[in-house]
Structures are given as C-alpha cells and as structure tokens.
Structure 1
Amino acid sequence: MGVNLVIGKENSPISVKDAKKRILKSIKPINKTEKVNTEDSYNRILAKSIKAKRTQPAFNTSAMDGYAIKKKFLKDLPIDLDILGETKAGDENKFILKKNQAVRVFTGSFLPEGCDKVILQENCVSSKDKVLIKKENFENYIRKRGEDFFQSDQCLLKSSLMDSGKIAFAGAMNYKTIDVYKKPKVGVIANGNELFEPGNKNLEIKQPASTKPSIMSLINTWGGEAVDLGIAKDTTYSLKTKIKKGLACDMIITIGGASVGDYDLVHKSLSEMNFGLNFWKIKMKPGKPLMFGILKNKPILGLPGNPVSSMVCAQLFLKQSIYKLQNYNYIEKIFHLPLGKDLSKNGWRESYIRGYMSKNKNNQIIAMPISNQDSSSLSSYSKANILIIREPNARKIKKNSLVKAIILN
C-alpha cells in the first residue's frame, strides 16, 4: 500500500473539512481481493463489476393469482371461458391460449403463449372446467421477461458497498460467491498508565480502557479487521514497541496521549521513528487534539484520550479511512431535523453535540440535544444516536429551528 503525504502547517488547528480531505488524500486503497460467499458479503466492497448469469424473469410471469387470458376475447362481460389447465410457480408452461380459453395461474407462474392479461381470481367464479369472468381489472398483472434484468446485464458495479438488497440481487443473478476487497487490518493501541483492560481486577485509582473495545467494534462494523495491540504505558519505549508491532497492519489507531501534556508521548514517540506528521489539532469540539500522519507508508490516526472525543473523531475520520482502504468513497449522510430545544451560541470550533431522535406532539421526528456534553461522559454518549452539527460562532438557535445532524455508527 502506498501513501500520498500532504504537508501543511502541522501544529495549527485545521477545520474538520480540511482534516477529512487530508486524510482521504493520504490514504491509498488496499487492492488485495478475496472470494466470499454472498451471505458473508454484508458491508464488504465489491472488487469486480458483475454481470447477470440469467434473465429475470426468464419468461412472462403472473404477478397475481388468477386466470391468464387474451384481452381481445373479453368484449362482452360476463363471459364463460374454458379452463385448459393450471400452471404453478416453477412449472414449465405447456399451454397456448386460443379463443375463449383461460389457464389457472398463480403469483410467479409462467404465462401461457398468447396471454396478455391476468384476471384476478376475485373477479372470477370457477367450476370444474369453466371460469366465469365477471369483470375486467384495469391492470394486466404481467411481469415481462427480463423486466428485472437480462442475462449479461452489468448489474452491480465495482466498489459497490454490499448490503442486504445487493446480496439478494447477486443471488438472483445466480452468484454463490463474489470478489470483494480484503478487510484492512487496523491496529488499536490505548495509551496511559491509568488504564487497565476491562474485566480485570478493579482498581479505584485506575480506569478501564473502555474506549478500546468500542473503537475496535466500530472498525469491524465498517468492514475492517481490528487488531488489539493492547495498552501502552506512558513511556516512549512502551509506545514505540506497540507501534512497531502495529506496522504489520494496514493502519494504526492510537487512543490517548495525543495532546501536549508532559505524559502525552504519542507524538514524541512517533517523531523518534521518522513519523511524517500531517496535522495535529483540529477546530472541533469535542476532539481538538486529533493527530494524523504517515509512518513507513502506514497511516496513523491519533485519537484524543477523552472517551467521547475519541468516539466522535472515529465517527468522522476513522470511518471514512477504513472505507477508503477498501476502495469505497464513503460520504456521510447529513439530515436536517427540527431542534427539540433551544441551543446557546456556539464557540470558535465546529461542534458535534450529542443528541437523540425523538418525536414531538405532531409525531414529527426531532433532534433532541442531551444536557451533559462533557467529553468524558459515556453515560450521555450511550443515550445518543445522532450528532448535531454547529458551525463555528453560530448564533443561538430556537427550538423547532432546522439543524444538521448525522446518525451515529
């Protein structure tokens, strides 16, 4: 994997937009591919465009249960028609319609030769070998041959993100396996003497490294393969040891130690390893001490230590990175929702306010900000399912004003 390094004023805070652009420009996709069964391809990126191996439907097909007829013989209603027989879904058609004849059909049945309309069964009264057509329905209820796709149609394009609909589509085209890009391996290092692995003996003077499993789960959700590199102590030796191990991965994520305190040693450790810093600090709240750069052609994203800051930054910067490694251009969907309560004037940084979607008295979906916006509060983050975006220095806004929001995860 190669990298395009972008150089700027590394220590000057940059905008969220600029940070996203720099990261995407610096990351080159992994081009290794593998075959997977279609049922295992959810959220994977298609590595080759695929063409249909069959036509769907293969013949004209009934869209409803009823009777296949020729329209020109329905001049006078009601009318009695002779029933030639019936065709069920999966049966081969063996009938040719002639004057005053009908064939009993069901949803998915191939239609007899000459049929140009299906009369709904509720518009008919049948006896043993006759059917009385009482009235003619407006719709023809015929699915034409190839209405969905024809054999050799190029139906799914390279770099498509596979979801449940596309998996069903590939199956309908008769694919058992498809080619996808390999999952990028993303190493995750938590940093801090105060941390211990969640589930270990609880020490009141220390803190579980709770963000690490969360970030790892997000990496896996976004199509990557998270590699747990453990917890680095607040020494350059410990950090460099973990980072060297992480160079076997396609990308490295550090959590904590990216600020400028005496014991924030991620940047110092990387600098001693010939790290190419791209930027360090962004005009964003929460998440100002975000770091990004390149070490030995591997992108390294340094997330802030505060739990909420790191998870918000992962949503904005790590998500797009993992998809880019898989040859997919991820674009965050922004929704405009009415605000559930007033918001005060914003500061000089672009803000991402935790909130949740609710409904007002008119049953309209609204964006409700959560009261506690402290960057260490995981209880408030666990209640959030959206981030409300506020521009730098935005004025106070009233309840019911439209705000921009993104959905978490």
Structure 2
Amino acid sequence: MREFISVEEARSLILAQVGRLPVERVPLAEALGRWLAEAIVSQDDIPPFPNAAMDGYAVRLADVHAAPVSLRVVAEVGAGQLPPEEIPAGACIRIMTGAPVPNWAEAVVPVEWTEASEDGTVRILQAPTAGENIRPAGQDVQAGERFFEVGQRITPPVVAMLATLGVAEVPVFRRPRVAIVATGSELIDPGQSLLPGHIRDSAGPGLAAQAQWVGAEVVVRQRVPDEHSALEQAIEQALEADVLVFSGGVSVGAYDLVRQVLDARGTQWLFWKIRQRPGKPMAFGLLEGKPVFGLPGNPVSSALCFDQYVVPALRRMQGQQEVLRPRFPAILEAPTPKKAGLHFFTRGIVRAGADGRLHVRDTGPQGSNLYHSMVRANCLIHLPEALEEAPAGLEVQIEWLPWTIGP
C-alpha cells in the first residue's frame, strides 16, 4: 500500500480501478441526465420531406417570373396534410409552415409578398428564387448519419433530438449503486436535539446528496457506532452496492476502526493518506473487486474528498468521457493560508472583475470542521503542493463547485 501520495497519483490509482457499468435501455422520458452507451445513427432524413419554411403559396417559377402576376389558388395544405400531386399551369396552392411541398413546386412565396382576392386568385407581387422558403429533406439530419457518440450526456435538447430520430428506448450506462456509511458513536439523527458529547450526522446526508447530484443511486445509507460488530454488519450490507463509501474511522485514533474491520474482511488497500488539505487521511482500496473509499470524518474533508475522488469514479462508471471539471485562472484578491508540501483545496468565492478577469477570495476560516466554508463557496481554489505562500495578486486555478452552476 502506498502512503502519503500526491493528488494526481491518487486520482490515477482510483480511475485505473473503475470502468463503465453495463448497458441498460430506458424509456426516453427517463433518460434525462444519463450518458449514451451506444452511438445513435439516424434511420431517416430529418425532415423526412421538403416542407414550407413559412406560410405562403407554393408556385412554379415559370408562373411567377414576370411578377406581379395573378394565380388561381386550387388548394390549401396545412401541416400534416398532403398536397395535390399535379396542378394546372397558372395555378398555385396556399401552404402553411411545415406542410409538405409537392414535387412540382419550385419555391414558396411568403404571404407578405401577396395580395389575396375573394375570387379565388392571389396576386404575386415579387418573384422568389429557386428553392426559396423550402426546407429540403435531410436538411437537419441525413439517413445513415452517425449523430450521437458513446458518452454523450442526455440533455433536454438531446432528448428532443432522440425523439426526432425515433429513439423511444435509449441505451445508457447503468447508474452506479453507492453505499454511504457514516461512522461515529457521537452521531445522532438530524432531527434529534443535541445531547452532551453528540453531534448531528451531516456526512451521511451530505455525501448521499453529492452522489445523487452526479446521477448515482444511493442504495445503502447507514450510520453506525464505533463498534466492530456494527461495522461488520454495515460492510456486509454495503457490498450490495457497486461503490462503498465510509466517512470516518480511517485515521489512527483508538476508535478509528473502519480500516481494521475492512482489513479483516480482506480489503486490498491501494493507498492511504494524500498530500492535501483538507482530507489527508483518506484511503482507497478494493473489496471483492469493488471500490472502497475511506473518507475522513470531518464534514468538510469528507465532502471535498468525495467531490475530488469519488465523483470522477462515478462519472467514469456512467460513461462520461471527461471526468474532471475544468479549471480557470483567477486572481487572488487577498492572501490566503498555504503550507508547502500539501495541495490546498481552499473554498473560495469567485467573481468577474471589471478588467475582464476572474477574481477570487477565500470564504474565511478554512477549518475542516467548518462546513459554512462549503456553503458560502462557489468554487475551489487549487493551491498546488509546491506553492509556499499565496499572496494577494497571485494567479491561481479555480474550479466551479458543481451545485453552483446547475446539474
């Protein structure tokens, strides 16, 4: 087992152990937010037939080249109706937006270029050009076109396009099933009154929410005391999931029993401790081939480790191509604490400056027990381990926290 490794090495070791989950097919109405597991090839031209781009009159160019001219209106065609296959010379049809354009028609004259008469004729005031106001078949998508690739996230526009392409059952990667086990004899339910020596469990609900935010399914939620038998039972139930997440009990204290019990169960640990703050005493391993994350018990440490290490693994399992969020340069508005040798994940508040650049400051005290620093932050400030200090004016890298910019 490796100890006290870098942030980058920890991510690499974790991602090397996870892959895409099996494919399942879900109704289109349930596919939003999932990731495509198969490429989607269009079976049809979209639109499937030439259609009118606006309300007007379908005409032959020979009948209107000498405009202004009057034509006899022999039919009216709306969307969903079929036009006549033939009409005589000197005639036209009134046509509505989206209605099929007949093969003989060479253009659609918009209604604004016409004057209708009560005698069944229409005066064409301006001659159109060939193909004007006609949307050709296949203008949007052509039959046989490979439109979506594996790993495409299903957003609202993708749902609409899948419907257009006739995809009623969508192939997606199965959602990862996650077990969240918060440990500590001091923890009580959020709805309970505080008692001496006890705190309300925030890690369990918070980590479950983070898992759900990225599309995972939380199938096990447990809170267990620092007791061998209780932890053994919790581990047995947690193995129903694809990913096991433990909060607390992974450090070196007398009551830090999670690693001991997992060791006895046969966990193969890949690393313990990362050169970072907060969250140094994090552990990662495999139990029966399933990823096991041992997160620190302090709520900020737990939340940040989940965000930086568990979330990329969950994204990879769902088929996402890019599992890490992008970073952006920003200017520190005020000095913030930094110690050489540790990568700092400083909770920050970023804003756009008058100079067109991003400016950022920390949220205040950065203690790993101060959860308000997470609530107030809209970003993380990355201060790499080689950096000795972080003065005002320093250009740093930030990443937006996902819940501040939407799902």
Q: Considering the TM-score relative to the shorter chain, is it more than 0.5?
A: yes
After superposition, the CA RMSD in angstroms is: 3.0
TM-score w.r.t. the length of structure 1 is 0.86
Stretch of structure 1 that moved more, 160-169 or 149-158: 149-158
Residue 220 (structure 1) aligns with: 212
Q: Normalising by structure 2, report the TM-score.
A: 0.86
Matched, 1:378 2:371: yes
1:391 aligns with 2:384: yes
Farther off after superposition, 310-319 or 108-117: 108-117
Instruction: Give 2:116's aligned residue.
Output: 126
CA distance in 2, matches of 1:400, 1:97: 75
Paired residues of 2:37 and 2:173 also in contact (CA < 8 A): yes
Residues 50-92 of structure 1 deviation map (CA, whole Å, 9 limit, x = unaligned): 3334331011122333333445665555444443433222222
Instruction: Report if the CA contact (8 A) 1:338-1:399 is conserved.
Output: no
Pair 240,52 (structure 1): closer, same or farther in 2 beyond 3 Å: same
> SS where residue 230 of structure 2 aligns?
helix
In structure 2, the gaps of 5 or more residues are none
Q: Would the alpha carbon gap of residues 240 and 169 (structure 1) be closer, same or farther in structure 2, given more than 3 Å must change?
A: same
What's 1:5 paired with?
A: none
Distance 1:166 1:37 in 2: 14
Q: Is the 8 A contact 2:106 2:131 kept in 1?
A: no
After TM superposition, the structure 1 = structure 2 runs for residues 297-316 of structure 1, keeping only pairs within 5 Å, are: 297-316=289-308
- What letter corresponds to residue 148 of structure 1 in structure 2? D
CA contact (8 A) 1:63 1:107 kept: yes
1:47: which partner in 2? 37
Matches of 1:196 and 1:384, distance apart in 2? 26
Give the secondary structure class of the aligned counterpart of 2:36: coil
What pairs with 1:357-368 in structure 2 (closer than 5 Å)?
357-361=350-354, 366-368=359-361
1:257-307 residue CA offsets vs partner (Å, 9 max, x unmatched): 222222222222211222111011112222222110011211101112121
Contact map agreement 1:198 1:210 (CA 8 A) in 2:
yes
Structure 1 residues 253 and 106, CA gap change in structure 2 (3 angstroms) = same
Question: Amino acid of the residue matched to residue 23 of structure 1?
Answer: I
Question: In structure 2, do the counterparts of structure 1 residues 75 and 271 end up closer, same or farther at CA, with 3 Å as the change threshold?
Answer: same
In the other structure, the counterpart of 1:350 is 343
Q: Give me the whole-angstrom Cα distance separating, in 2, the residues matched to 1:19 and 1:211.
A: 22
Structure 1 residues 271 and 165 mapped into 2: Cα distance closer, same or farther (>3 Å)? same
1:310 corresponds to which letter in structure 2?
S
Counterpart CA distance in 1 for 2:331 and 2:130 is 46
Measured in 2, the distance between the counterparts of 1:374 and 1:141 equals 64
Q: Which residue of 2 aligns with 1:24?
A: 15
The CA distance in 2 between the partners of 1:136 and 1:45, in whole Å, is 45
Rounded to whole Å, the distance in 2 between the matches of 1:22 and 1:151 is 43
Match of 1:244 in 2: 236
Indicate the residue corresponding to 1:329 in structure 2: 321
Partner of 1:61: 51
**1:88–1:108: 8 Å Cα contact kept in structure 2?**
yes
Q: Which residue of 1 is the match for residue 157 of structure 2?
A: 165
**Distance change (3 Å), C-alpha of 1:136 and 1:275:** same
Rounded Cα–Cα distance in structure 2 between residues aligned with 1:405 and 1:198: 30
Q: Percent identity over the alignment?
A: 25
Q: Aligned in 2, Cα 1:95/1:335: closer, same or farther, shift over 3 Å? A: farther
- Alpha-carbon distance in structure 2 between the residues aligned to 1:333 and 1:131: 60
- Unpaired segments of 5 or more residues in structure 1? 1-8
Measured at CA, do residues 97 and 340 of structure 1 come closer, stay the same or move farther in structure 2, by a change above 3 Å? farther
Relative to structure 1, is the Cα distance of residues 135 and 190 closer, same or farther in structure 2, using a 3 angstrom cutoff? Answer: same
Change (3 A) 1:96 1:406: farther
Is 1:106 matched up with 2:115? no
- Where 1:171 maps in the other structure, the secondary structure is helix
Q: Tell me which residue corresponds to 2:84.
A: 94
| Deviation (angstroms), 1:39 | 0.9
Deviation, structure 1 residue 101? 4.7
Tell me which residue corresponds to 1:255: 247
State the 1:136 CA deviation: 5.5
Name the CA distance, whole Å, in 1 between partners of 2:306 and 2:351. Answer: 24
Q: Which residue of 1 aligns with 2:400?
A: 406
Runs of 4+ deviating beyond 6 Å: 362-365
User: What CA distance in whole angstroms lies between the structure 2 residues aligned with 1:116 and 1:400?
Assistant: 64
CA-to-aligned-CA distance 1:107-162 (integer Å, 9 cap, x gap): 32222324444344334433342033347599934322112223444433344332
